[in-house]
Structure 1
Amino acid sequence: MGDGGDGNAAYGHKRFERSASRFTDRITADGRDGWPVEAGRYRLVVSRACPWASRAVISRRLLGLEDALSMAIADPVQDDRSWRFTLDPGGRDPVLGIRYLSEAYERRESDPPGGVSVPAVVDVPSGKLVTNDYRQLTLDLATEWSALHRPGAPDLYPERLRDQIDTVMAEVYEDVNNGVYRAGFASEQKEYEQACADVFRRLELLASRLAGQRYLVGDTITEADIRLFTTLVRFDAVYHGHFKCNRWKLTENPVLWAYARDLFQTPGFGDTVDFDHIKRHYYQVHTGINPTRIVPLGPDLAGWRSPHRREDLGGRPFGDGTPPGPVRAQEQVPARGRP
């Protein structure tokens, strides 16, 4: 979620608890929360560094929502007001006209508790935050926004498989997505050891599952794969060293490394990943566990483009659909952030 502010310096000094999303309004086809799906009305604010936000970036691209839902990319290195738009000319988001994401939060609720997090969706006409519910957001993009999907968009949350997908996602969230944070921000040895053990126990179970099937649920990419990928793609770059999840590297697990490369090389996944943003955010913002703010040079990223041979397991990445088209020029990852 990428909460900003003074809390970053406290990581590693107090027990880590992930706060629940405070703003859980949903943007739906029928507008039941007061926010109807409408092309051009909303702006998705993300950081390419944040795994929770990266889910939304991938989903938006796979579903072809670029015209319907514009996207703002925040600077990966926060200051004391959290996510800022210093990547844009004049340091302001060109659509919302604000310098800090916190301004959209404050228009919704003065002095909002719980920090300022991404992904966030902002109502462009009012400049108010609509939602920061990272768990529900991508599910709604896949289902409620279907009228605005591109022709050939994949079904990322097929109804007949939702129970299975939900079960897998819950396990992945507890032990992997959030597990690496529980290990990395642990303040006591026992707390760290338990979290780290949970991470690798689940990764080994996932490797066993994926040894005989190309994707986590069914024979196509689903929301479950997106959620696992955003942690795996960060594993060796930040979680292995920075978060001390170092029993083994992703590149040392043949199944998970091949699975991650397969997704990375699938349009909509690797073309959204910015390793420069990822490394600078974790190592420079989490001063509670990296007070020097030094960013390591490694790991070598060349292997992400190497053959994976996962196609031998069958499967159809986009089901009856088609891959997304080329990344738009204004949304391309800069050369220094990609392999």
Structure 2
Amino acid sequence: MTDSETAQGTYVEPGEFKRDTNYITTRITAEGRDGYPVEPGRYRLVAARACPWANRTLIARRLLGLESAISLGLCGPTHDQLSWTFDLDPGGVDPVLKIPRLRDAYLARFPGYPRGITVPAIVDVPTGQVVTNDYAQITIDFSLEWTEYHRDGAPELYPEALRAEIDEVNARVFREVNNGVYRCGFAGAQDAYDAAYDRLFTALDWLSERLTGQRYLVGDTITEADIRLFTTLARFDPVYHGHFKCNRSKLSEMPVLWAYARDLFQTPGFGDTIDFAQIKDHYYKVHTDINPTRVVPKGPGLSNWLTPHSREALGGRPFGDGTPPPPPTPDETVPAEHSAR
């Protein structure tokens, strides 16, 4: 392995952090309009439990029961500047794709691929080529294009009657919260950080107010909007509060959001995808320009995630007319020592 393959990338930018949002927009659809039809067993979802964007796909796949239709490859929590790697697998090679680096699947389709190698990504197993890394569209397509392979009792995560409102909420949550914590953490100037900090907590206050009188973000059931917010909230106290300097208050000091996050965490399909050890390893070891020692903090404690949240009093039905997903299979279960569960 060369020095360039082991070196970490640079994340802090001069001034304001700006995310590259140009992704591979190829879609897997029921009619196969982009050349990739829905087909059980053909595709492999490559994710990492550390990554909030990938975590969304793990939750949606669990809730909808797509485990038998779309296989899962998991990268380890740390990576170098070139690629996420399969260091959790024997020999450091994905057992299905037979590659050590996710980068290999990107280059198989796009030689010289010029952008970052990101998770989640869906790979076409027969060709070994990446199909898409458009994380926002992936979960929507899980809901709308893979319906033939949903489990019995799968919830509607993107109900037609609520899509406009879900899209509106998602847009603000992405801009101000999902990406907002990164604007704080990767700010390269005080004024950029100050502005990002104010925007983040203004949005968190808005969410607290919105969730004071309703159990879920949109409607009375879990939707795509809750999945997208949850993965950021789950990482807030372990990494964003300290590592990214989002420290006006901890999540556990924001009563409404803390109860809302615990409600979801204790819902099958959410907390059972969270690996707190991998989350901390990723942020504190990869972002060496923020944490050059790579020392990972021991805290915070996790048992409070399982305390009563009392959100049932607001009504709502988590899965609507559906049912909770079954427990994860042994090979996809987060180790007990990595979770509050």
| TM-score normalised by length of structure 2 | 0.96
1:210 equivalent to 2:197? Answer: no
1:170 equivalent to 2:171? Answer: yes
- Aligned counterparts, 1:185-224, within 5 A: 185-224=186-225
Aligned identity (percent) is 62
Distance in 1 separating the partners of 2:81 and 2:170: 33
2:241 is matched with which residue?
A: 240
SS of 1:54 mapped into structure 2: helix
Amino acid at match of 2:11: Y
Distance in 1 separating the partners of 2:254 and 2:73: 35
Amino acid at match of 2:32: G
Distance in 1 separating the partners of 2:262 and 2:5: 34
Once the two structures are superposed, residues 27-50 of structure 1 have per-residue CA deviations (whole angstroms, 9 ceiling, x without a partner) of 000000100000000000001000
Gaps of 5+ in 2: none
Distance in 1 separating the partners of 2:58 and 2:160: 22
Amino acid at match of 1:11: Y
Deviation at 1:23, TM superposition (A): 1.1
Gaps of 5+ in 1: none
Distance in 2 separating the partners of 1:160 and 1:168: 14
SS of 1:122 mapped into structure 2: strand
Amino acid at match of 1:146: T
2:11 is matched with which residue?
A: 11
SS of 1:257 mapped into structure 2: helix
Once the two structures are superposed, residues 181-238 of structure 1 have per-residue CA deviations (whole angstroms, 9 ceiling, x without a partner) of 0110000000001111111000001000100000000000000000000000000000
Amino acid at match of 2:333: Q
SS of 1:311 mapped into structure 2: helix
Asked if structure 2 preserves the Cα contact closer than 8 Å seen for 1:207 and 1:255, the reply is yes
1:34 is matched with which residue?
A: 35
Distance in 1 separating the partners of 2:273 and 2:217: 21
2:59 is matched with which residue?
A: 58
Distance in 1 separating the partners of 2:112 and 2:281: 28
Once the two structures are superposed, residues 252-291 of structure 1 have per-residue CA deviations (whole angstroms, 9 ceiling, x without a partner) of 0110000000000000000000000000000000011111
Asked if structure 2 preserves the Cα contact closer than 8 Å seen for 1:47 and 1:75, the reply is yes
Amino acid at match of 1:127: G
Once the two structures are superposed, residues 46-90 of structure 1 have per-residue CA deviations (whole angstroms, 9 ceiling, x without a partner) of 010000000000000000000000001101011343211110111
Asked if structure 2 preserves the Cα contact closer than 8 Å seen for 1:121 and 1:130, the reply is yes
Distance in 2 separating the partners of 1:337 and 1:159: 37
Distance in 2 separating the partners of 1:127 and 1:61: 24
2:122 is matched with which residue?
A: 121
Amino acid at match of 1:57: L
- Aligned counterparts, 1:122-161, within 5 A: 122-161=123-162
Asked if structure 2 preserves the Cα contact closer than 8 Å seen for 1:44 and 1:122, the reply is yes
Deviation at 1:5, TM superposition (A): 7.3
Asked if structure 1 preserves the Cα contact closer than 8 Å seen for 2:8 and 2:80, the reply is no
Amino acid at match of 1:150: R
| TM-score normalised by length of structure 1 | 0.97
1:303 equivalent to 2:304? Answer: yes
Amino acid at match of 1:122: V
Amino acid at match of 1:214: R
1:96 equivalent to 2:97? Answer: yes
CA distance change for structure 1 residues 13 and 174 in 2, over 3 Å: closer, same or farther?
A: closer
Distance in 2 separating the partners of 1:77 and 1:9: 11
Deviation at 1:16, TM superposition (A): 1.9
Distance in 2 separating the partners of 1:215 and 1:8: 38
Distance in 1 separating the partners of 2:277 and 2:250: 19
Asked if structure 1 preserves the Cα contact closer than 8 Å seen for 2:9 and 2:81, the reply is no
SS of 1:312 mapped into structure 2: helix
Asked if structure 2 preserves the Cα contact closer than 8 Å seen for 1:13 and 1:288, the reply is no
1:231 equivalent to 2:232? Answer: yes
CA distance change for structure 1 residues 95 and 9 in 2, over 3 Å: closer, same or farther?
A: closer
Aligned residues: 336
